[in-house]
Amino acid sequence: MTVSSPGAPTQAPTQGKPLSGLRVVEVATYVAGPLGGMTLAQLGAEVIRVDPPGGSADYTRWPVAASGTSLYWVGLNKGKRSLCADFRRAEGRELITRLIAESGPGGGIVLTNADRPWLSYEALAKVRPDLIHLRIEGLHDGSPAVDYTVNASSGFPLVTGPEEHAGPVNHVLPAWDVACGLYAAVGILGAERHRRITGQGQRLSVALDDVALATAGNLGFLAEAEVNGVSRPRIGNHLYGSFARDFGTRDGRRVMVVALTARHWADLLTATGLAAPVAALADALGADFSAEQDRYTYRDALAGLLQRWFVSHDLPEVRQALSQASTLWSVYRSFRDLVEGDDLRANPLLGVIEQPGVGRYLAPASPIKTVPVNTVPVNTVPVNTVPVNTVPVNTVPVNTVPVNTAPPGGREPARAPLLGEHTAEILRTDLGLSEDKIRELHERGAVVSASPQR
């Protein structure tokens, strides 16, 4: 694995960086917006995160390292540049506005969850007519909400958790934030393609609540309640409509076993030696366990038979038996189990980075892997002869300094910036300000450069 240094940035590789040349200004906090920006940055876009002096509300959020550096913040801001400017001052707002307006043909893209008049589509489109502006909202009407409140109203906590549990169970994963961030990235890419073809920008919004409702609808949860008139039951670790459950082993480990298909089920019975007793049970009940619905209906009886087998075998024996089967299964692991095992280090998704305030640790790059393909030239006939990006934009050169702090090599992870690490560089290179002007802005507190390493 490669170590990325906190020193001078290196040239970003072209392989696996399809968004090179795209420039996004991100004014967002917590999960959805920063995740959307980082997703674009990991695909090669230049993403400039803008924060006020001292950092935004998420700058110190838990978990934190011993130094106080937020592992949460550095995790969601890898590979970005950092500009620290005072939003409360007119000159701070003017600098950010100029950065958006004067960012070349691949720029003029804003990702935000802030509701500020000067950062609105209406205000910025006046200085950048082909603006792409995506705002992440709580509810569809613009009212505030966060993942935890959206989740409470989505229906999911009332079908999550043990069957005997009476109250709601919130999932520890902020699923709607994560999905919303990915939707935001997709929305920006769709708008950017539209702009390349038509020259027109777009105003977009994605609401956390809409993401939750769309997911509940897409997975059939809402239709089941409306069409069938039933409420989804809480069934613990069983799989609704099929057979899956967790089982304890003799040596105290726990595994999740999933038999989605008839072949999965038959292989599971062969591996555990339970084909005969399960066949007898099927005869007694008049059931066909090759069918998903019958495996689900009689899940408790089937799980009881299987649990007797699992609890009489240690994990290595379980592993040996199930390795011969098509059945899907996995061992339950804690986060600490993950980082102390060998699997993470064998996965090319992760590499060691050197993060100021944290030190050396494993961090992920983009989960999207670029697989080398035939290098024979293709599509040599000119295509897309329609003029693109016909709306005039500022032609001031932008970002001539390499950004990505990761070394070449495709999926190598990049470290997060220090707060304000690129402030002077952005003012100098992207906005063309003189050293005297940059010094003056620092002295007045309108901008701040990198905080000391904590």
pLDDT in tens, 25-82: 999 999 999 999 999 999 999 999 999 999 999 999 999 999 999 999 999 999 999 9
Task: Taking the CA atoms of 164, 165, 168 and 174 in sequence, report the sign of the dihedral they define.
Answer: negative
Least confident window among 19-33, 51-65, 254-268, 407-421: 407-421
Q: Which residue in this structure is represented by tokens 């090179």? A: 20
Q: Residue 6 pLDDT > 70, yes or no?
A: no
What sections of 103-174 are H helices per DSSP? 121-125, 147-154
pLDDT confidence band for 394 (50 / 70 / 90): very low
**How many CA atoms lie less than 13 Å away from 181 in the CB half-sphere?**
23
What sections of 386-444 are H helices per DSSP? 423-425, 435-444
Determine the average pLDDT of the residues in 425-447.
Answer: 96
Q: Is-contact 408 13, C-beta < 8 A? A: yes
Q: Rounded to 10 degrees, what is the CA torsion of 58, 62, 63, 64? A: 80
pLDDT confidence band for 189 (50 / 70 / 90): very high
3-class state of residue 280 by DSSP: helix
Q: Residue 109 pLDDT > 70, yes or no?
A: yes
pLDDT of residue 409: 40
Report the alpha-carbon distance of residue 412 to residue 47 in Å, rounded.
17
**Residue 247, φ and ψ in degrees, nearest 5:** -135, 140
Q: Angle at Cα 89 formed by Cα 83 and Cα 92, nearest 5°?
A: 30
Report the alpha-carbon distance of residue 75 to residue 416 in Å, rounded.
7
Q: Which residue in this structure is represented by tokens 């998420």? A: 58
pLDDT of residue 158: 96
**Active-site residue set:** 177
pTM: 0.87
pLDDT of residue 453: 53
DSSP element (H, E) containing 283: helix 275-285
pLDDT of residue 452: 57
Q: What is the mean pLDDT of the chain?
A: 89
pLDDT of residue 401: 32
Q: Which residues pair with 25 in a beta bridge?
A: 48, 110
pLDDT of residue 370: 83
Nearby residues of 175 by Cβ (< 8 Å), 6 or more positions away:
147, 151, 212, 215
Distance of CA 367 to CAs 98, 229, 243, Å?
33, 39, 29
Which stretches of 65-120 are assigned E, i.e. beta strand?
81-85, 109-112
pLDDT of residue 375: 60
Distance of CA 316 to CAs 160, 252, 268, 416, Å?
31, 12, 16, 40
pLDDT of residue 261: 96
Pairing of strands 81-85, 23-27: unpaired
User: What is the DSSP annotation of 360-395?
Assistant: EEEEE--S--PPP---S----S----S----S----
Query: Cis ω on the peptide bond leading into residue 408 (within 30° of 0)?
Result: no
Determine the average pLDDT of the residues in 211-221.
Answer: 97
Q: Is-contact 354 370, C-beta < 8 A? A: no
pLDDT of residue 372: 78
pLDDT of residue 382: 53
